[in-house]
Structure 1
Amino acid sequence: MDFKLIKSEQEYEAAISLLEQIGDNPDFEENEKLINDFEVLEKLIEVYERENFPIENGDPIEIIKLKMAYMDLAQKDLIPYIGSKGVVSEVMNKKRRLSKAMIRNLSEFLNVSQEILNVDYDLGKVDVSITNEQVKEKGVLRFLIPTGIDASGISNRIKSRGVTLAMCN
Protein backbone atom coordinates (compact mmCIF):
# COMPACT_ATOMS: atom_id res chain seq x y z
CA MET A 1 0.00 0.00 0.00
CA ASP A 2 1.05 3.57 -0.58
CA PHE A 3 0.93 5.72 2.54
CA LYS A 4 1.17 9.47 2.97
CA LEU A 5 1.23 11.86 5.89
CA ILE A 6 -2.12 12.28 7.61
CA LYS A 7 -3.23 15.91 7.28
CA SER A 8 -6.90 16.00 8.31
CA GLU A 9 -9.29 14.54 10.84
CA GLN A 10 -11.00 12.62 8.04
CA GLU A 11 -7.71 11.07 6.90
CA TYR A 12 -6.89 10.29 10.54
CA GLU A 13 -10.18 8.41 11.05
CA ALA A 14 -9.67 6.52 7.78
CA ALA A 15 -6.15 5.56 8.89
CA ILE A 16 -7.45 4.28 12.24
CA SER A 17 -10.08 2.22 10.44
CA LEU A 18 -7.50 0.78 8.04
CA LEU A 19 -5.15 -0.01 10.93
CA GLU A 20 -7.94 -1.98 12.63
CA GLN A 21 -8.72 -3.84 9.38
CA ILE A 22 -5.08 -4.80 8.92
CA GLY A 23 -4.76 -5.92 12.54
CA ASP A 24 -7.98 -7.96 12.34
CA ASN A 25 -6.86 -9.79 9.18
CA PRO A 26 -6.60 -13.54 9.99
CA ASP A 27 -3.29 -13.74 8.08
CA PHE A 28 -1.80 -10.78 9.93
CA GLU A 29 0.74 -12.64 12.07
CA GLU A 30 2.17 -14.66 9.16
CA ASN A 31 2.08 -11.95 6.49
CA GLU A 32 5.19 -9.76 6.51
CA LYS A 33 3.61 -7.19 4.15
CA LEU A 34 0.61 -6.73 6.48
CA ILE A 35 2.93 -6.36 9.46
CA ASN A 36 5.02 -3.73 7.64
CA ASP A 37 1.90 -1.85 6.50
CA PHE A 38 0.58 -1.93 10.06
CA GLU A 39 3.84 -0.54 11.48
CA VAL A 40 4.07 2.26 8.88
CA LEU A 41 0.43 3.25 9.40
CA GLU A 42 0.87 3.13 13.17
CA LYS A 43 3.81 5.57 12.93
CA LEU A 44 1.86 7.94 10.66
CA ILE A 45 -1.04 7.92 13.13
CA GLU A 46 1.36 8.52 16.01
CA VAL A 47 2.89 11.55 14.23
CA TYR A 48 -0.57 13.02 13.54
CA GLU A 49 -1.68 12.47 17.15
CA ARG A 50 1.50 14.01 18.55
CA GLU A 51 1.03 17.12 16.40
CA ASN A 52 -2.74 17.49 16.79
CA PHE A 53 -3.52 16.02 20.20
CA PRO A 54 -0.65 17.01 22.48
CA ILE A 55 -0.79 15.37 25.87
CA GLU A 56 -0.48 17.79 28.72
CA ASN A 57 0.74 16.70 32.09
CA GLY A 58 -2.09 14.61 33.38
CA ASP A 59 -2.91 13.15 36.72
CA PRO A 60 -0.68 10.07 37.07
CA ILE A 61 -3.28 8.18 39.11
CA GLU A 62 -5.92 8.74 36.42
CA ILE A 63 -3.41 7.60 33.80
CA ILE A 64 -2.75 4.44 35.83
CA LYS A 65 -6.50 3.83 36.12
CA LEU A 66 -6.92 4.23 32.36
CA LYS A 67 -4.08 1.81 31.68
CA MET A 68 -5.54 -0.63 34.20
CA ALA A 69 -8.92 -0.48 32.46
CA TYR A 70 -7.26 -0.97 29.07
CA MET A 71 -5.26 -3.95 30.37
CA ASP A 72 -8.24 -5.33 32.35
CA LEU A 73 -6.38 -5.12 35.66
CA ALA A 74 -7.63 -4.79 39.23
CA GLN A 75 -5.93 -2.98 42.10
CA LYS A 76 -4.69 -6.31 43.46
CA ASP A 77 -2.62 -6.70 40.27
CA LEU A 78 -0.56 -3.66 41.32
CA ILE A 79 0.53 -5.14 44.67
CA PRO A 80 3.87 -6.49 43.35
CA TYR A 81 4.69 -3.06 41.89
CA ILE A 82 3.42 -0.71 44.60
CA GLY A 83 3.33 -2.63 47.87
CA SER A 84 0.69 -4.11 50.13
CA LYS A 85 -3.04 -4.05 49.44
CA GLY A 86 -3.39 -1.11 51.83
CA VAL A 87 -0.63 0.90 50.15
CA VAL A 88 -2.13 0.24 46.71
CA SER A 89 -5.50 1.46 47.99
CA GLU A 90 -3.96 4.60 49.52
CA VAL A 91 -2.08 5.42 46.30
CA MET A 92 -5.06 4.80 44.03
CA ASN A 93 -7.33 6.87 46.28
CA LYS A 94 -4.74 9.68 46.37
CA LYS A 95 -4.07 9.40 50.06
CA ARG A 96 -0.40 8.59 49.45
CA ARG A 97 1.99 9.79 46.74
CA LEU A 98 3.76 7.56 44.26
CA SER A 99 7.36 6.93 45.33
CA LYS A 100 10.24 6.81 42.86
CA ALA A 101 10.39 3.02 43.18
CA MET A 102 6.64 2.75 42.52
CA ILE A 103 6.98 4.98 39.45
CA ARG A 104 9.83 2.84 38.09
CA ASN A 105 7.93 -0.40 38.70
CA LEU A 106 4.63 0.86 37.29
CA SER A 107 6.35 2.41 34.29
CA GLU A 108 7.80 -0.95 33.32
CA PHE A 109 4.68 -2.98 34.15
CA LEU A 110 2.15 -0.66 32.46
CA ASN A 111 4.50 0.32 29.63
CA VAL A 112 4.14 4.02 30.45
CA SER A 113 6.90 6.60 30.44
CA GLN A 114 8.28 7.45 33.89
CA GLU A 115 7.96 11.14 32.99
CA ILE A 116 4.18 10.76 32.67
CA LEU A 117 3.93 9.22 36.13
CA ASN A 118 6.49 11.52 37.75
CA VAL A 119 4.15 14.52 37.81
CA ASP A 120 3.00 16.38 40.89
CA TYR A 121 -0.67 15.88 41.73
CA ASP A 122 -3.00 16.85 44.52
CA LEU A 123 -3.75 14.29 47.14
CA GLY A 124 -7.46 13.51 47.13
CA LYS A 125 -9.75 15.73 49.10
CA VAL A 126 -13.50 15.50 48.99
CA ASP A 127 -15.19 18.85 48.44
CA VAL A 128 -18.01 18.83 50.97
CA SER A 129 -18.83 22.53 51.10
CA ILE A 130 -22.17 23.71 49.73
CA THR A 131 -22.92 27.40 49.76
CA ASN A 132 -26.38 28.95 49.87
CA GLU A 133 -25.64 30.55 46.49
CA GLN A 134 -25.04 27.13 44.94
CA VAL A 135 -28.32 25.81 46.32
CA LYS A 136 -30.24 28.84 45.01
CA GLU A 137 -28.38 28.82 41.68
CA LYS A 138 -28.87 25.12 40.93
CA GLY A 139 -32.26 24.73 42.57
CA VAL A 140 -31.18 21.42 44.10
CA LEU A 141 -28.45 20.25 46.42
CA ARG A 142 -25.48 18.92 44.55
CA PHE A 143 -23.86 15.64 45.42
CA LEU A 144 -20.77 15.56 47.57
CA ILE A 145 -18.44 14.18 44.96
CA PRO A 146 -14.63 14.17 44.91
CA THR A 147 -13.09 16.87 42.78
CA GLY A 148 -12.61 15.87 39.15
CA ILE A 149 -15.64 13.61 38.79
CA ASP A 150 -18.37 14.75 36.42
CA ALA A 151 -21.75 14.12 38.04
CA SER A 152 -23.88 15.79 35.38
CA GLY A 153 -25.27 12.44 34.23
CA ILE A 154 -26.40 11.55 37.73
CA SER A 155 -27.87 15.00 38.26
CA ASN A 156 -29.76 14.86 34.95
CA ARG A 157 -31.20 11.41 35.74
CA ILE A 158 -32.41 12.64 39.11
CA LYS A 159 -34.00 15.72 37.55
CA SER A 160 -35.74 13.66 34.85
CA ARG A 161 -37.04 11.02 37.26
CA GLY A 162 -38.04 13.46 39.98
CA VAL A 163 -36.19 11.57 42.70
CA THR A 164 -36.16 13.28 46.08
CA LEU A 165 -33.10 12.91 48.26
CA ALA A 166 -33.04 13.07 52.02
CA MET A 167 -29.73 14.36 53.33
CA CYS A 168 -28.69 14.41 56.95
CA ASN A 169 -25.53 15.08 58.92
Structure 2
Amino acid sequence: MWQKKIEEKFGIQVIQCAIHRDEGHFLKNENDEYVLDERGNRIWDLNLHAHIEFFALDKNGINRYKKRDWYKMGKELQDIGASELGMERGKDYAKSGQKAPKGLNRRQYATKRAIEDRQKVKIKDLNAINTKLREHLKQSGANRSNYAKLEQEKKRITPKD
Protein backbone atom coordinates (compact mmCIF):
# COMPACT_ATOMS: atom_id res chain seq x y z
CA MET A 1 0.00 0.00 0.00
CA TRP A 2 1.39 3.40 -0.98
CA GLN A 3 0.79 4.99 2.44
CA LYS A 4 3.07 2.40 4.05
CA LYS A 5 5.80 3.09 1.47
CA ILE A 6 5.71 6.78 2.39
CA GLU A 7 5.72 6.03 6.12
CA GLU A 8 8.66 3.65 5.81
CA LYS A 9 10.72 5.90 3.53
CA PHE A 10 10.13 9.26 5.24
CA GLY A 11 8.86 8.42 8.73
CA ILE A 12 5.69 10.47 8.24
CA GLN A 13 2.12 9.20 8.31
CA VAL A 14 -0.52 9.86 5.64
CA ILE A 15 -3.65 11.24 7.32
CA GLN A 16 -5.82 11.67 4.23
CA CYS A 17 -5.67 11.80 0.45
CA ALA A 18 -8.10 13.50 -1.95
CA ILE A 19 -7.86 12.96 -5.70
CA HIS A 20 -9.74 15.44 -7.85
CA ARG A 21 -9.91 17.62 -10.95
CA ASP A 22 -10.49 21.21 -9.88
CA GLU A 23 -7.51 22.81 -11.55
CA GLY A 24 -6.10 22.97 -15.03
CA HIS A 25 -5.08 25.26 -17.87
CA PHE A 26 -6.04 26.28 -21.37
CA LEU A 27 -4.25 24.18 -23.98
CA LYS A 28 -1.67 25.95 -26.15
CA ASN A 29 0.08 24.82 -29.30
CA GLU A 30 3.83 24.93 -30.04
CA ASN A 31 3.48 28.63 -31.04
CA ASP A 32 2.08 29.45 -27.58
CA GLU A 33 -1.36 30.11 -29.09
CA TYR A 34 -4.55 28.80 -27.51
CA VAL A 35 -5.99 25.65 -29.05
CA LEU A 36 -9.64 26.19 -30.02
CA ASP A 37 -12.53 23.76 -30.34
CA GLU A 38 -14.92 23.65 -33.30
CA ARG A 39 -16.95 26.56 -31.84
CA GLY A 40 -13.87 28.78 -31.44
CA ASN A 41 -13.66 28.36 -27.65
CA ARG A 42 -10.38 27.76 -25.85
CA ILE A 43 -10.00 24.19 -24.61
CA TRP A 44 -9.66 23.78 -20.83
CA ASP A 45 -7.49 20.81 -19.82
CA LEU A 46 -8.40 19.57 -16.36
CA ASN A 47 -5.57 18.39 -14.16
CA LEU A 48 -6.06 15.17 -12.22
CA HIS A 49 -4.08 15.57 -9.02
CA ALA A 50 -3.97 14.54 -5.40
CA HIS A 51 -3.74 16.47 -2.16
CA ILE A 52 -2.19 14.44 0.62
CA GLU A 53 -2.12 15.49 4.27
CA PHE A 54 0.63 14.17 6.53
CA PHE A 55 1.25 13.81 10.24
CA ALA A 56 4.91 14.76 10.42
CA LEU A 57 5.82 13.32 13.82
CA ASP A 58 7.47 9.93 13.70
CA LYS A 59 6.72 7.07 16.11
CA ASN A 60 9.11 8.59 18.66
CA GLY A 61 7.42 12.00 18.53
CA ILE A 62 10.23 13.61 16.54
CA ASN A 63 9.18 16.19 13.98
CA ARG A 64 10.23 14.87 10.55
CA TYR A 65 9.36 18.16 8.80
CA LYS A 66 12.51 20.15 8.09
CA LYS A 67 12.22 22.93 5.53
CA ARG A 68 15.63 22.20 4.05
CA ASP A 69 14.64 18.57 3.36
CA TRP A 70 11.03 19.10 2.34
CA TYR A 71 11.74 20.27 -1.23
CA LYS A 72 13.60 17.05 -2.06
CA MET A 73 11.08 14.97 -0.11
CA GLY A 74 8.24 16.63 -1.99
CA LYS A 75 9.68 15.52 -5.33
CA GLU A 76 10.11 11.95 -4.11
CA LEU A 77 6.59 11.99 -2.64
CA GLN A 78 5.23 13.10 -6.01
CA ASP A 79 7.11 10.27 -7.72
CA ILE A 80 5.72 7.68 -5.28
CA GLY A 81 2.21 9.15 -5.40
CA ALA A 82 2.08 9.24 -9.19
CA SER A 83 3.46 5.73 -9.51
CA GLU A 84 1.32 4.12 -6.81
CA LEU A 85 -1.92 5.94 -7.68
CA GLY A 86 -1.51 5.38 -11.43
CA MET A 87 -1.32 9.10 -12.17
CA GLU A 88 0.86 11.01 -14.60
CA ARG A 89 3.81 12.64 -12.83
CA GLY A 90 3.91 16.41 -13.07
CA LYS A 91 6.75 18.00 -14.99
CA ASP A 92 9.99 18.43 -13.04
CA TYR A 93 11.03 21.90 -14.17
CA ALA A 94 14.26 21.77 -12.18
CA LYS A 95 15.47 18.78 -14.24
CA SER A 96 14.35 20.21 -17.59
CA GLY A 97 15.86 23.64 -17.00
CA GLN A 98 12.56 25.25 -18.06
CA LYS A 99 10.88 27.92 -16.03
CA ALA A 100 7.77 26.66 -14.23
CA PRO A 101 4.53 28.36 -15.28
CA LYS A 102 3.36 30.93 -12.81
CA GLY A 103 0.16 29.87 -11.09
CA LEU A 104 -2.60 32.05 -9.77
CA ASN A 105 -2.35 33.52 -6.31
CA ARG A 106 -5.27 33.10 -3.91
CA ARG A 107 -6.98 36.36 -4.92
CA GLN A 108 -6.58 35.69 -8.67
CA TYR A 109 -7.94 32.17 -8.23
CA ALA A 110 -10.95 33.42 -6.22
CA THR A 111 -11.64 36.06 -8.88
CA LYS A 112 -11.40 33.47 -11.65
CA ARG A 113 -13.80 31.15 -9.80
CA ALA A 114 -16.26 34.01 -9.16
CA ILE A 115 -16.26 34.92 -12.86
CA GLU A 116 -16.77 31.27 -13.83
CA ASP A 117 -19.65 30.97 -11.35
CA ARG A 118 -21.31 34.11 -12.76
CA GLN A 119 -20.90 32.74 -16.28
CA LYS A 120 -22.53 29.47 -15.20
CA VAL A 121 -25.48 31.42 -13.79
CA LYS A 122 -25.73 33.48 -16.98
CA ILE A 123 -25.63 30.35 -19.12
CA LYS A 124 -28.24 28.69 -16.89
CA ASP A 125 -30.50 31.76 -17.23
CA LEU A 126 -29.83 31.92 -20.96
CA ASN A 127 -30.78 28.25 -21.36
CA ALA A 128 -34.02 28.80 -19.41
CA ILE A 129 -34.91 31.79 -21.60
CA ASN A 130 -34.02 29.80 -24.73
CA THR A 131 -36.33 26.97 -23.63
CA LYS A 132 -39.22 29.43 -23.12
CA LEU A 133 -38.59 31.07 -26.48
CA ARG A 134 -38.48 27.70 -28.24
CA GLU A 135 -41.81 26.78 -26.64
CA HIS A 136 -43.25 30.13 -27.78
CA LEU A 137 -41.98 29.50 -31.32
CA LYS A 138 -43.54 26.04 -31.27
CA GLN A 139 -46.92 27.41 -30.15
CA SER A 140 -46.70 30.12 -32.81
CA GLY A 141 -46.10 27.59 -35.58
CA ALA A 142 -42.60 28.87 -36.33
CA ASN A 143 -40.51 27.43 -39.14
CA ARG A 144 -36.90 26.20 -39.19
CA SER A 145 -35.44 29.60 -40.03
CA ASN A 146 -37.06 31.07 -36.88
CA TYR A 147 -35.38 28.39 -34.75
CA ALA A 148 -32.09 28.94 -36.59
CA LYS A 149 -32.22 32.67 -35.84
CA LEU A 150 -32.85 31.91 -32.16
CA GLU A 151 -29.89 29.51 -31.98
CA GLN A 152 -27.66 31.99 -33.82
CA GLU A 153 -28.55 34.73 -31.33
CA LYS A 154 -28.01 32.36 -28.40
CA LYS A 155 -24.57 31.44 -29.74
CA ARG A 156 -23.72 35.12 -30.20
CA ILE A 157 -24.54 36.09 -26.60
CA THR A 158 -23.26 32.94 -24.85
CA PRO A 159 -20.19 33.88 -22.77
CA LYS A 160 -16.90 32.47 -24.07
CA ASP A 161 -14.27 31.00 -21.74
Which TM-score applies when normalising by structure 2?
A: 0.25
Higher relative contact order (CA 8 A, sep 6+): 2
Which TM-score applies when normalising by structure 1?
A: 0.24
Is the strand fraction higher in 1 or 2? 2
